Amino acid sequence: MGNEHSSSKGSKKKLPHIKKVRFDQNVLRANLKMGVIRFQSLRGKKTNQVLDRKREIAQLLAKKNEELANIKVEGLIHDENFITCIDILGMLCEKVIERVSFLAESPECPNDMVSTLQTIIYAAAPSECGEMLKVREQLFAKYGADFTLRALENSDELVNRVVISRIGIGIPSQLTKNARLKQIADENEIEYTPNEDVLSNLQNFDNVNEAASMERQEFERNQMGGSDAASTYSASSYQSGMSYQSNMSGGQQYQGGQFQGGQQQFQGGQQFQGGQQFQGGMN
């Protein structure tokens, strides 16, 4: 992942290279729509990787090859974090699609869209979605360097907290890796006994997931707070056929193709349920 977001306090950070373009709402809208489709594709690929990684790790634990399992679990954690991020980014893109015309007519970024747009700018590079870089170019053209820099630095502290905690993170701690291995072992009824520190960290995982679930609900309520007619976006309607639970810091639960707690409500008049159906690849 990129290192655009690493900066020390008190130092003025330079903008990454962003191609200078003229703002065009049609270009912005087109790339947002393509970005949603791209995220569906990425989600399907990462979902399959998660299933394969978990199966491989379970086999390694069953064979008592804990050293190799410890290496493999890093990729699993990374993929689970990434899935969480692109689900959120997909929802935010849908929200912006409904507001493009309004944004084009507004000389300044509306207050209720600052967090959404800054999150998209912040996550554009590490999202592995080329369309998001095009979206960032359009937002840079519309709102200027200062707005873009504040987003990349999160100096306004408005970038989505789950995205910050999950995207572009470094190597997970050993406690985190061991705790995830313990969970996989338990799911597959494999005998695996980590040390006491790991067992204690498992309780922290439970507490983090509970806090993240509450944060997710708050995030959804905030998106429903505007005056536009509500639209429905189901971030997990892709046909993955998986049973998945994200267990890292800031996690959220996903099972059987949809988030527990139902669909996510967003501003706008359009109904979106996962866009094109996706199962392991682009339709």
Q: Which residue has the higher pLDDT, 101 or 205?
A: 101
In order of 55, 91, 158, the CA distances from 119 in angstroms are 33, 11, 8
Q: In sequence order, what are the residues at sequence separation of 6 or more whose Cβ sits closer than 8 angstroms to the Cβ of residue 54?
A: 76, 184, 187
Between residues 44 and 222, which one has the greater pLDDT? Answer: 44
DSSP 133-200: HHHHHHHHHHHHHHHHHHHHHTTTS-S-HHHHHHTT--PPPHHHHHHHHHHHHHHTT------HHHHH
> pLDDT value at position 173?
86
CA–CA separation, 39 vs 169, rounded Å? 19
- When pLDDT is cut at 50, 70 and 90, the band that residue 193 belongs to is confident
Confidence at residue 194, expressed as pLDDT on a 0 to 100 scale: 73
Q: Please tell me the predicted confidence (pLDDT) of residue 112.
A: 95
pTM: 0.67
**CB of 123 closer than 8 Å to CB of 154:** no
* Rounded CA separation 194/192 (Å): 6
What residues are paired with 259 via a beta bridge? Answer: 254
pLDDT average, residue stretch 57-63: 96
In this predicted structure, the answer to whether residue 254 has a pLDDT above a threshold of 70 is no
Across 127-148, average pLDDT: 96
Q: Is 254 helix (H, G, I), strand (E, B) or coil?
A: strand
Tens of pLDDT, residue by residue over 113-130, are 999 999 999 999 999 999
220: phi then psi, degrees, rounded to nearest 5 = -65, -40
